[in-house]
Chain A
Amino acid sequence: MIEVQHLRKSYGELVAVDDASFHAEPGAIFGLLGPNGAGKSTTIGCLSGLLKPSSGSVRVLGHDVVRNGVAARRALGIVPQELALYDDLSALENLRFWGAAYGLGGADLKRRAAEVLELVGLADRAREPVKRYSGGMRRRLNFACGVMHRPRVLLLDEPTVGVDPQSRVRLLELVREQAAAGACVLYTTHYMEEAQDLCDRLAIIDHGKVIALGTLQELRDMMGARDLLRLSGTFDPPAAAAALEGVDRVEIVTAEPSLLIVAVEGASRKLPAIFAALAATGAEVRETTLSQPSLESLFIKLTGRELRE
């Protein structure tokens, strides 16, 4: 399992990860969801030994990654966000090298390489140099290199970025298979749908801080049964906020001159009252979007921003 306690990583004045704590269990997928630059890759870097934490502790299967790095890294499999492949070598040569680096050898190495190539659908192009592969094929091989040695802990850093839809579906299936086989999977993404579909537990991270943590249901409960209503147009923020206070069970999330976001229970029934209250302040509503409770709406509720911003 993975245990992260009060992890902090800073570069001078810039704090990339700030007091992050979470843990991930074997046989489950733990997601780190956050926008670009939130600190997800830095967290993965600290887990993999690439970066040294400024403070806090990171343990993999009970081994501290700083004090007992070799033992901790022996259990790890990494699928980095950027491709990490030798372009001049074939898929088979890449797999054999990374497999051998984790101690596989002889017939086991050959058998496992063939198995993994079959798993990621590259068996028929196994002997071609990687530089001839498409982007999706490279992504699958990148994943294959990470699971070659049957790691007990698998770190995946946005593995589906830039991947075609078919490869993406296949990759997500492969991740589920790893968890089903008993691996502890840590999966970072900024795709809300991916996190919702894939992860058993999640941490939402923003500006290096964990702002929400729990199962998908627990996170949804944080939103309550409230929908998220997003109104674009022209508003007087203080007047709009004051006017909406009169509407039952409405919470202002964001109030800006051109954007108003409110969390509201039974939004479809309360829309006329909301529009009337706003109209009384002279507001002009041009566009309205109503969202059911989701991670996206939770992120907006917690940060006042959309995940993709």
Chain B
Amino acid sequence: MSFLFQCAMKDLRRRLADPVSLVLWLGIPLLIGGLMSVFTSGDGPVPKAHVLLVDEDQSLLSGLLANAGGEGRADFLDIERVATEAEGRARMDAGDASAMLVVPKGFGAAFIDGTPTTLRLVKNPSERILPNIVQTAVEMLVEVAFYAQRLLGEPLRQLRGQTADDRPGYPDSAVAAVATSINQRMRQLSRWLNPPAIALQTVNAAPAAPAQTSSFALLFLPGMVFMAVLFISQGMADDVWDEKAQGTLGRAVSLPHDLTLFLGGKLVATSVVMAAVALVAVAVAALVFAVPIGRTPIAFAWCVFTGTAIYCFFQLLQFAGTTRTGANMVSTMVVFPAMMLGGSFFPFEVMPRWMAGAGRWLPNGQAVARLKDLLAGTADPHALAIAALAIAVPAAIAFLLSARLLGGRFAGEA
């Protein structure tokens, strides 16, 4: 036991001699997680597409078109009239707008007559998403205009034919005839329009209560913690290559102790580093996300236990390569998919179901899922015990295999 303790102390002293690595292991996940949380949270302003409208027609209809997206009628569109197309292009070049819609001269007349006409949409190539939103909106508008033309085109054409040159406006009889015609058409449509055959109901999910632990940011915290765990595991496991390169592994082989204890010292040192990470994690959970203090001890223990177990898997991976570069490649090929699937980059809740299902089978995915339960106070002791066993048994096997490989060819080549 004394040798195990000495080995652990030695490895901890070596880690403390390189505090930058420790800070990076913890800092990178916090940074990534923080950014992910900010980028994907619903608290920011809704982006709006700024559209410039060049109305060359100056008709009643083109005016209606301009108003369709203006004055807050569409949450995602902000329409501004400009005098000429050249002015619009200059504004777009300056980055002032996502798109420019040109309504050509004669658009209103063509609409009433049902003859072909073209609305021109110029998209700003320096933007990717907003111009496409504008394009979709305009396409929908054209669809609506087509059906409106089919419905109201004929009465409007009749009205236009009643224009008298010597008097302003239209004769009362003509207006009455058009009104009657429109009324009849609307009555025919009323069985679909009133009530509408299709009703769209928009429901905004109620925001979660602040005291609930399922807040969006807290969803990220367990993933961030285990991202740090994975980085630490990879870094601590790589230490056997340092021992080999420094010649200390060769000297350790000549000691009157089993190398399992030597590796055990690294396991203990890793668990201490994991404890430091877990302490930060539960402190953040309690202080920032108002997780009740009573839930934190077991969450802390869970992080240390699973973190140390995950290290064992990475330790075994180090022996998969015959060189340090090879081993690190293997390890890196595992760590990033494990983070991605295991809920470290994105919470399981926002993943496709198949991906979340697969991720939960991974040791780190299982650890993340259970940590969420622990912090939310919804952990089932039975499920937790099974998860612990499912992680601990293969981890113990991985550790014993690692010890065997360390004392064999790996050390023999030191």
Contact = CB atoms under 8 A, between A and B. Distances in A.
Interface of A: 45, 48-52, 70-71, 73-74, 76, 78, 80, 82-89, 93, 97-98, 100-102, 105, 129, 145
Given A50-B412, A85-B246, A87-B246, A101 B257 contact: yes
Nearest to B251: A84
A82 B250 contact: yes
Interface of B: 2-3, 6, 10, 13-14, 17-18, 246-248, 250-257, 411-412, 414
Nearest to B243: A86
16 contacts: A48-B254, A50-B412, A70-B256, A70-B257, A73-B256, A82-B247, A82-B250, A83-B246, A84-B246, A84-B251, A85-B247, A85-B248, A86-B10, A89-B10, A93-B10, A101-B6
A45 B257 CA distance: 17
A76 to B, nearest CB: 6
Given A89-B14, A93-B13, A129-B17, A102 B412 contact: no
Contacts of B14: 86, 88-89
Nearest to B262: A101
Contacts of A51: 412
A51 B248 CA distance: 15
A145 B414 CA distance: 18
A118 B246 CA distance: 24
Nearest to B255: A101
Given A51-B412, A85-B248, A88-B17, A73 B254 contact: yes
A77 B257 CA distance: 14
A298 to B, nearest CB: 32
A93 to B, nearest CB: 6
Given A50-B412, A73-B256, A80-B247, 17 more contacts: A50-B411, A71-B256, A76-B254, A80-B250, A82-B247, A83-B247, A84-B246, A84-B247, A84-B248, A84-B250, A85-B247, A86-B10, A88-B13, A89-B13, A100-B3, A100-B6, A105-B2
A246 B14 CA distance: 71
A86 B2 contact: no
A51 B6 CA distance: 25
Contacts of B256: 70-71, 73-74, 102
List the 3 closest pairs (A to B, CB-CB), nearest first. A84-B247, A88-B17, A84-B251
Contact of A73 (B13, B17, B255, B414): B255
B405 to A, nearest CB: 15
Contacts of B252: 101
Contacts of B251: 78, 80, 84, 98, 145
B250 A50 contact: yes
A121 B281 CA distance: 47
A88 B18 contact: yes
Contacts of A84: 246-248, 250-251
A139 to B, nearest CB: 12
Contacts of B18: 88
Contacts of A80: 247, 250-251
Nearest to A146: B251
B2 A102 contact: no
A280 to B, nearest CB: 56
B335 to A, nearest CB: 24
A126 to B, nearest CB: 15
Contacts of B411: 50
A184 to B, nearest CB: 15
Contacts of A93: 10, 13
A101 B3 CA distance: 6
A76 B252 CA distance: 12
A100 B2 contact: yes
Contacts of A145: 251
A100 B9 CA distance: 11
Contacts of A129: 17
Contact of A97 (B10, B246, B253, B412): B10
A98 B251 CA distance: 9
A78 B414 CA distance: 14
A34 B6 CA distance: 38
A86 B246 contact: yes
A74 B255 CA distance: 7
A27 to B, nearest CB: 22
A89 B14 CA distance: 6
B257 to A, nearest CB: 7
A11 to B, nearest CB: 10
B248 A50 contact: no
Contacts of A73: 254-256
A85 B3 CA distance: 17
Given A97-B6, A100-B2, A129-B17, A86 B248 contact: yes
A85 B10 CA distance: 12
Nearest to A52: B412
Given A86-B246, A129-B17, A50 B414 contact: yes
Contacts of B255: 73, 101-102
Given A86-B14, A88-B18, A100-B3, A50 B254 contact: yes
Contacts of A102: 255-256
Nearest to A51: B412
